[in-house]
Amino acid sequence: MSELKTPPSGGWGALKATLASIQPANAARAVIALANANQPGGFDCPGCAWPDKPDTKINFCENGAKAINHELDRRLADAAFFARHTVAEMLGWDDYTLEQQGRLAEPMRYDAASDKYLPITWDAAFALVGEHLRAVSPDEAHFYTSGRTGNETAFLYQLFVRLFGSNHFPDCSNMCHEPSGRALNASIGVGKGTVTLDDFEHASAVFMFGQNPATNHPRMLGTLREAALRGCKVVVINPLREAGLLRFQDPQQPLEMLGNGATNIASHYFQPRLGGDLAIAKALIKSVLEAGAHDEAFIEAHTEGFTALAEDILATSWDELVEASGLGRDELAELGRLYCESPASIITWGMGITQHRHAVATIQMLVNALLVKGNLGKPGAGACPVRGHSNVQGDRTMGINERPSPAFLERLGKAVGFTPPLEHGRNVVETIAAMEDGRGKVFIALGGNFAAATPDSPRTWAGLRKQNLTVHITTKLNRSHLLPGRDALILPCLGRTEVDETGGIAQQITVEDSMSMVHLTRGVKPPASPHLLSEPAIVAGIAKATLANSPVDFDWLVADYDRIRDLIAQVVPGFADFNRRVRAPGGFYLGNSARELRWTTAVGRARFQVHALQPALLDELQGLTAQRLLLLTTVRSHDQYNTTIYQRNDRYRGIRNERRVLFANAEDLAALGLAPDQRVAIVSVWHDGERRVNDFRLQVHDIPRGCLAAYFPETNPLVPLDHYAAEAMTPASKSIPVYLKAMPH
């Protein structure tokens, strides 16, 4: 493969960026905080969900440092700040500027007459939420969660909402790894990844589908570096050639830094067309079957449905797989050979897989590929969905789920003494539709940035504005706060880095990482403002003001989070003796039944799932327009955390100080009569009409023909609300059908 002439990822660039991200006024605070990141007795880095390596002194990365420093922001968006700016004015600012305003400092209530937020006391704020919630039916309120929330808050929140009578839990997971949970549950009986960090030390090949760890999980590159040095193959499947995946200089390896050396990470790099991954997974299986490399004993002992799968795969021709994947026959053969020859393989995946219409099918086909070779339940092998938010997996474990299992509800009801609602609630897409058409009247968000993260932005915004009340429990100013309902509250909370002395004692919370390790996290810095409350305290305040005859004493629970953990121990499987076990250094491992070859599916075996190749999206839509359609994927830059924009740069892709960039193939541009650097509008085409965003600069990039890439959230107005993954309803923001229009100069 050709070597790019750019500097390696990580390395001095990362160190420089880490230091640059520290505001000078903040240096001492930041350095103390960083020393505590992911350390026993310290806090869990809010950056991502990649697990911590035990016994490592520096357990953070450049982007974790950015996340921490932005939370430690010394600037305050306080009452004086809000007195200076109307909501209409702030709505005109970009996401980067909003983030620059500093930490939210006190509770604020929207005043429609002046179009400004005014201070309100905590008690009055809670009373207002209670009033609004009591005035609507449980079906008319929606309760969003973003994945930074700790386990204790998440548990308390779902308990409150179920006491209120609802399962309407749209959450960031709906837009993220929902298809992974769905696919894995049906195939192997557990919705989580089966590998631990240790497996990366034993794998002979890692197949990495649709993720960009140099930016989004930089500590994973350290893991991959060690694997690569051992001779493990790292096989990347990604339409974009991501420079950060080619060579890596580990900032935690002094010799590598001093010698300015670097390790090759990707041993092989394949660039399929967007959404071509289902066909690639089928090609892997076809190679295995044709080579007779399948693990008969494993298939016989542990699975069902092999014959049907094999028939379907053998009936699919190589030509069809070439056509649907966008890879050449020789490339598919090479991929197949690598997979057949590897005694133990891990398959990892990220948003490049989950944000497609056929996400669930693709993930199940990847699991099929693992199963045919017996790559589950043995060292160095397994499924590794790489989660996003630092506690998104834990939030689900705690019951943030619009489709809770009856067993979970039963245990919850029994422990607390009430009958939880059984009916399934609404996910993100369904919530937006309900808010838009008037079924939703109150919207409460525990963290996150619903207005910016969700698809079809104008429709989401209209829905938010129609609410009787919007409430944001939050740390920093963002767009969601600027789309108030008729009544609106901003309730500022402590961040994870900050000391929490709720109830007058030093409190800690817990989180679960991407590999099912549960551990404590404790803030070390003084709070940004004396008026902040902890997330559990805010949830308790709202619950108390809303529920008339609650069987739960929320004040008592939040006076000592150990009490919340005792309740969790009674309700959530795997958490028995929670308080004691979580105090062991490094916490405890929740276990994974599939890893132990226990199959908790309906048939007591792992199930092969048959899926046909999907009809090409563009063929389906091309009839709607005379323009030539292309597929657009939306990705993160190196300097953003989802909707939080730290800087306008994207170092590894060579972008400086701009975000409205459209990455395109040079030949496509020539064929369309467009020139590099020209400004274009992007128009998406859907059954219900067109959507448009303006003023993107064309940037030639190493990307297959017919494919485009741009950053989110700027492109979210293009994602049709009903363009989502089958079954999981995850917005298909990695395959948006679009055409380009030259902008007048």
Ligand X SMILES: Nc1nc2c(c(=O)[nH]1)N[C@H]1C(S)=C(S)[C@@H](COP(=O)(O)OP(=O)(O)OC[C@H]3O[C@@H](n4cnc5c(=O)[nH]c(N)nc54)[C@H](O)[C@@H]3O)O[C@H]1N2
The residue ranges that bind Mo ion (CB under 5 A) are: 176, 388
Burial class (CB in 10 A: 0-12, 13-18, 19+), 258: exposed
Residue 68 vs 310, nearer CB to ligand X: 68
Long-range contacts of 405-408 (CB under 8 A, 24+ apart): 408/571, 408/572
Rounded CA separation 512/448 (Å): 18
Asked whether 426 and 142 are in contact (CB, 8 A), the reply is yes
Rounded to a whole number of angstroms, the minimum distance from the CB of residue 526 to ligand X is 16
Min dist CB 26 to ligand X, Å, is 17
Whichever of 266 and 310 has its CB closer to ligand X, that residue is: 266
Locus of tokens 């195939």: 187
Count how many Cα atoms sit within 13 Å of the Cα of residue 52 in the half-sphere of its side chain.
32
* Nearest distance from C-beta of residue 311 to ligand X, angstroms: 27
- By the 8 A CB rule, do 734 and 356 touch? yes
User: CA angle at residue 188 from 274 to 634, to 5 degrees?
Assistant: 20
One-letter amino acid at 68 equals I
Contacted by 448, from ligand X, Mo ion, none: CB < 5 to 8 Å by type: ligand X
Q: If contact means CB under 5 to 8 A according to the sort of partner, which of Mo ion, ligand X, none does residue 541 touch?
A: none
CB 536 within 8 A of CB 558: yes
CB of 575 to ligand X, least distance (A): 22
Q: Quick one: 606 or 632, whose CB is closer to ligand X?
A: 632
Bin 261: left if φ > 0, else alpha if -120 < ψ < 50, else beta: beta
Joined together, the tokens standing for residue 519 give: 């551990």
Task: Give me the least distance between CB of 320 and ligand X, in Å please.
Answer: 18
Least distance from Mo ion to the Cβ atom of residue 711, Å: 15
Q: What does the alpha-carbon distance between residue 102 and residue 559 come to, in Å, rounded to a whole number?
A: 29
H or E, element range at 677: none
Work out how close the CB of 579 gets to ligand X at its nearest, in angstroms, rounded to a whole number. Answer: 23
Cβ of residue 49: shortest distance to ligand X, in angstroms?
A: 7
Cβ neighbours of residue 224 under 8 Å, at least 6 residues apart? 200, 206, 213, 234, 248, 265
Q: Which of ligand X, Mo ion, none sits in contact with 535, Cβ below 5 to 8 A by type?
A: ligand X
> Of 263 and 474, which CB lies nearer to ligand X in the complex structure?
474
Binding site for ligand X (CB under 6 A): 47-48, 63, 146, 148, 172, 175-176, 209-212, 215-217, 237-240, 242, 274-275, 277, 350-352, 355, 388-389, 446-450, 453, 473-476, 478, 493, 495-496, 535, 633-636, 640-644, 712, 715-716, 719, 733-734
3-state secondary structure 328-361: CHHHHHHHHHHHHHCCCEEEEECHHHHCCCCHHH
Cα angle 530, 531, 533 (rounded to 5 degrees) comes to: 105
Measured from the CB of residue 86, what is the shortest distance to ligand X in angstroms?
20
**C-alpha span between 582 and 588 (Å, rounded):** 6
CA 496 to chain CA centroid, nearest Å: 18
Q: Which is nearer to ligand X, 322 or 409 (CB)?
A: 322
Q: Is the dihedral of CA 445, 449, 452, 455 positive or negative?
A: negative
The distance of closest approach from Cβ of residue 270 to Mo ion in the complex, given in angstroms and rounded to an integer, is 24
641 interacts with, out of Mo ion, ligand X, none, CB within 5 to 8 A per kind: ligand X
Q: Is 597 exposed, middle or buried (0-12, 13-18, 19+ CB in 10 A)?
A: middle
Q: Which amino acid is at 683?
A: V
Which CB atom, from 249 or from 634, has the smaller least distance to ligand X?
Answer: 634
Residue 176 or 483: which CB sits closer to Mo ion? Answer: 176
- Quick one: what does residue 240 bind among Mo ion, ligand X, none, with the CB cut-off 5 to 8 Å set by partner type? ligand X
Give me the least distance between CB of 601 and ligand X, in Å please. Answer: 26
What, of Mo ion, ligand X, none, does residue 639 touch, CB below 5 to 8 Å by kind? Answer: none
